[in-house]
Amino acid sequence: MADAGGAKVSVQREDFDIGAEIDRLTRGNRDIGAVVSFTGLVRERAAAGAIAAMELEHWPGMTEKALAAIVAEAEARWPLDAVRVIHRVGPLAPGARIVLVLAASRHRAAAFEAAEFLMDYLKTRAPFWKKEHGPEGGRWVDARDADDTAAARWQPKG
């Protein structure tokens, strides 16, 4: 159930290398048959028009704790061989990578579901806030109802 070593969760200003992260996650574990990655990018066209830059604010300390809790929940729900979450903070240009989620398992269903779960919970439970900077100044991004709906599907029914 554990990955080969290294942090499962990182909050950082630096960019990340998707291929290198997947290699690190899968190296030495030949039981892994499926790796799913999700990469989130800064879109140039936002709700209020073209943006010049985005600023990612977070709550140092609490962010890592929230992400670790989400990872632990995913590991409890699916038979995962490895998990990785990287989220960037600070200023980000359009096209820049924001977030990486990796889930590795024997078969693809668990890897896909866990990656979707990680993203749905990260979007609704990890303390990050996006501010878009465009020609008319700064604007805090609104939370999307679709994200709450997506997260709710993982709750027990009834």
Footprint of a copy of itself (CB under 8 A): 17-20, 22, 26, 30-45, 94-95, 106-109, 111-112, 115-116, 119, 146, 150
126 to each of 2, 67, 71, 137, how far by Cα in Å?
A: 22, 6, 11, 26
Q: Does 80 bind other proteins (CB under 8 A)?
A: no
Should residue 123 be labelled a site residue for other proteins when binding is judged by CB under 8 A? Answer: yes
The option from a copy of itself, other proteins, none interacting with 141 (CB < 5 to 8 A, set by class) reads other proteins
- CB–CB of 112/101 below 8 Å? no
Half-sphere exposure of 71 (CA within 13 A, CB side): 24
Q: By CB under 8 A, is residue 14 in contact with other proteins?
A: no
Q: Is 59 in the site for other proteins (CB under 8 A)?
A: yes
Please report whether residue 131 would count as binding other proteins according to CB under 8 A. Answer: yes
Distance in Å, CB of 99 to other proteins, minimum:
5
Question: Which segments within the chain are labelled E, that is strand?
Answer: 9-12, 34-41, 45-46, 49-50, 53-58, 80-88, 90-92, 97-105, 128-134, 137-140
Query: Which of the ranges 13-21, 45-53, 75-83, 115-123 carries the binding residues for other proteins, by CB under 8 A?
Result: 115-123
